[in-house]
Structure 1
Amino acid sequence: MESYTFVADEKARIDKWVSDRGEWSRSQVQEWIKTGALLVNGSAVKANYKLQVGDEVEVNVPEAVELEVLPEDIPLEIVFEDEDVIVVNKARGMVVHPAAGHTSGTLVNALLYHCDDLSGINGVKRPGIVHRIDKDTTGLLMVAKNDLAHESLASQLKDKTIKREYIALVHGELVHELGTIEAPIGRDTNDRQRMTVTDRNAKEAVTHFRLLERYKDFTLVECKLETGRTHQIRVHMRYIGHPLAGDPKYGPRRTIDLGGQALHAATLGFHHPRTKEWMEFEAPLPEDFNAELAKLDKIEKTR
């Protein structure tokens, strides 16, 4: 069990105030309040308790229950594999690794069935996982089969030498053909499940974009990641007024029905962990993405 002590610096509702001070959802905090794991001035309170300045808040975070991750016979599209690395083309709707609410059917479950020699650096729930893409984002993902590979790929991510290019369909007619979005991203204090551009507890985030095709009311763009923040492309494109089509979290209510955001990890390049050879892979747009593009009216051909 981990314990944290805070001193209230404002008058606020207890569950919201505490969730803003850690990587905890408001529902998690409310559950801890119910079970007595959260105390104010040594006493239990209700979730709607209004903090007073100077109140001492004690949070006793329960030990996480370790998930048992089991191999599952789930089809995978493997683009490349050797003794060190697997590159997969992830399907829409597949979560990368187990977490609360998604304990099976993940990419990790499928990988464990396919091979049992994944790196252990990220623990039992995320074996081999060096980076992630969202559940409803399709495309290329690299997985480490041993710790040597994991350390090398993670280092390349940190040094920003991995090539990651995405194709996205966004709302509106983008004016600029090229651009760079430099805007820090952090958790949205009003909704812990969302990220936003903010100066509060934020990290550097840089996205480069290039216009590919203009359509009536939409634009197809290529986005190149310089950093890899949670939901980065989705947040950045919304920030400049062009949210991703089909995005249920950051897009408008009236959008295309794609079962998720129109975002595809199309290109992935890195230096092989063992041979140091540059390797680059491409994955074509999935059929459902192409089908939506076919329904749109092109304005002009730019490339």
Structure 2
Amino acid sequence: MTFTVSIQNPYSETTVKELLEEHFLIPRKIRHFLRTKKHVRVNHELINWQSPVELGDTVELTFDEEDYPTKEIPFGEAQLVDCLYQDEHIIIVNKPEGMKTHGNEPTEIALLNHVSAFVEQTCYVVHRLDMETSGAVLFAKNPFILPILNRLLENKKIKRQYWALVQGHFSDKKLTYRQAIGRHRHDRRKRVVDRRKGQKAVTHVQVLKAFGTTSLINCQLDTGRTHQIRVHLSHDDHPILGDPLYHTKSKGRLMLHAHELSFTHPLTLETVRVSAKSKTFEDCLAIASKHSQMN
């Protein structure tokens, strides 16, 4: 497979070697194959490994099967995929509630399998949503782009916005939760606030609307801990409606939806921003609004 990248970011005094190693994060073994097989061209010409790469240059990378062996997974059903955006390297889809992002076993069919069937090639998970959560999910379409996207995620360059309908009202319109999150000692499915042994977790909250006994809020994540939003809100006595783990008295779907995903494309430098809709979330929200007006 051959990828062509137009250099639109003026990397300062960057060589071909530095570009592949520090910016594209290509593993050392594969960089060795690219060099010995002469599979790197700049502006359609073979180059020296120490040649400079400048703004406007076109870099061509050719990978063989042994460079990135194909990871075979069973294909799911392409018609189940609600595609929000895709290009040569990435695809963003709208996950319905009740579907896993990826399976726990090799033969288990989940969203990843459906997405792979949709693009007719094996895809790779960049980040995940809980099975009960709906909304925008990002996948890599090839192993070349995967580590680049992973670094964006680690550096908080991929912004994720969530809507949640929670129990109760807030005294402030904006607040930030910073409690560390760790594993529950007795229930492996759950997470808890654990200030001593937990991992750093930051959730920014903005109140959008207050209903009778509930509130619609927007959450933005700086970190991506398991059940992060659910744990922070339940710990503050504002559990999400429909949460089967942290608000067991509430029924219906989990009222958490990843409505927006945005980042700067690492290769084209274009701003990618997608919005995801959920009919079930909006229907439940309408019921909450109507119920509050009746009371």
What TM-score, normalized by structure 1, do the two folds share?
Answer: 0.69
Match of 2:113 in 1: 109
Aligned partner (choices 252, 260, 263) of residue 257 of structure 1:
252
Match of 1:198 in 2: 194
Match of 2:184 in 1: 188
Match of 2:266 in 1: 273
Provide the rounded CA distance (Å) in 1 between the counterparts of 2:157 and 2:271: 11
Provide the rounded CA distance (Å) in 2 between the counterparts of 1:183 and 1:267: 24
Aligned partner (choices 81, 85, 95) of residue 80 of structure 1:
85
Provide the rounded CA distance (Å) in 2 between the counterparts of 1:264 and 1:228: 15
Match of 2:170 in 1: 174
Match of 2:158 in 1: 162
CA deviations 1:41-76 (Å, max 9, x no partner) are xxxxxxxxxxxxxxxxxxxxxxxxxx9831122410
Does residue 292 in structure 1 map to residue 288 in structure 2? no
Query: Larger deviation: 140-149 or 291-300?
Result: 291-300
Match of 1:98 in 2: 103
Match of 2:18 in 1: none
Match of 2:276 in 1: 283
Question: Contact 1:207–1:227 at 8 Å: present in 2 too?
Answer: yes
Q: Report the Cα offset of residue 112 of structure 1.
A: 2.2
Aligned partner (choices 224, 228, 231) of residue 232 of structure 1:
228
Question: Contact 1:166–1:267 at 8 Å: present in 2 too?
Answer: yes
Provide the rounded CA distance (Å) in 1 between the counterparts of 2:198 and 2:119: 37
Count of aligned pairs: 221
CA deviations 1:170-190 (Å, max 9, x no partner) are 011222110000010010112
Partner SS for 1:292: helix
Q: Report the Cα offset of residue 148 of structure 1.
A: 2.8
Letter in 2 for 1:161: K
Question: Contact 1:266–1:282 at 8 Å: present in 2 too?
Answer: yes
Letter in 1 for 2:272: M
Q: Report the Cα offset of residue 115 of structure 1.
A: 2.5
Match of 2:49 in 1: none
Provide the rounded CA distance (Å) in 2 between the counterparts of 1:103 and 1:211: 41
Query: Larger deviation: 77-86 or 195-204?
Result: 195-204
Aligned partner (choices 236, 241, 245) of residue 241 of structure 2:
245
Provide the rounded CA distance (Å) in 2 between the counterparts of 1:128 and 1:289: 27
Match of 2:37 in 1: none
Change (3 A) 1:218 1:144: same
Change (3 A) 1:97 1:171: same
CA deviations 1:122-178 (Å, max 9, x no partner) are xxxxx4101100111000011001223211211111111111000000011222110
Letter in 2 for 1:289: F
Change (3 A) 1:103 1:221: farther
Where do 5+ consecutive residues of structure 1 fail to align? 1-66, 119-126
Q: Report the Cα offset of residue 295 of structure 1.
A: 1.8
Aligned partner (choices 126, 129, 132) of residue 130 of structure 1:
126
What TM-score, normalized by structure 2, do the two folds share?
Answer: 0.70
Provide the rounded CA distance (Å) in 2 between the counterparts of 1:199 and 1:177: 25
Letter in 1 for 2:82: E
Question: Contact 1:94–1:105 at 8 Å: present in 2 too?
Answer: no
Provide the rounded CA distance (Å) in 1 between the counterparts of 2:279 and 2:117: 26
Provide the rounded CA distance (Å) in 1 between the counterparts of 2:144 and 2:206: 35
Question: Contact 2:161–2:220 at 8 Å: present in 1 too?
Answer: yes
Q: Report the Cα offset of residue 116 of structure 1.
A: 4.1
CA-based RMSD of the aligned residues comes to 2.0
Question: Contact 2:74–2:107 at 8 Å: present in 1 too?
Answer: no
Match of 2:205 in 1: 209
Question: Contact 2:74–2:109 at 8 Å: present in 1 too?
Answer: no
Partner SS for 1:166: strand
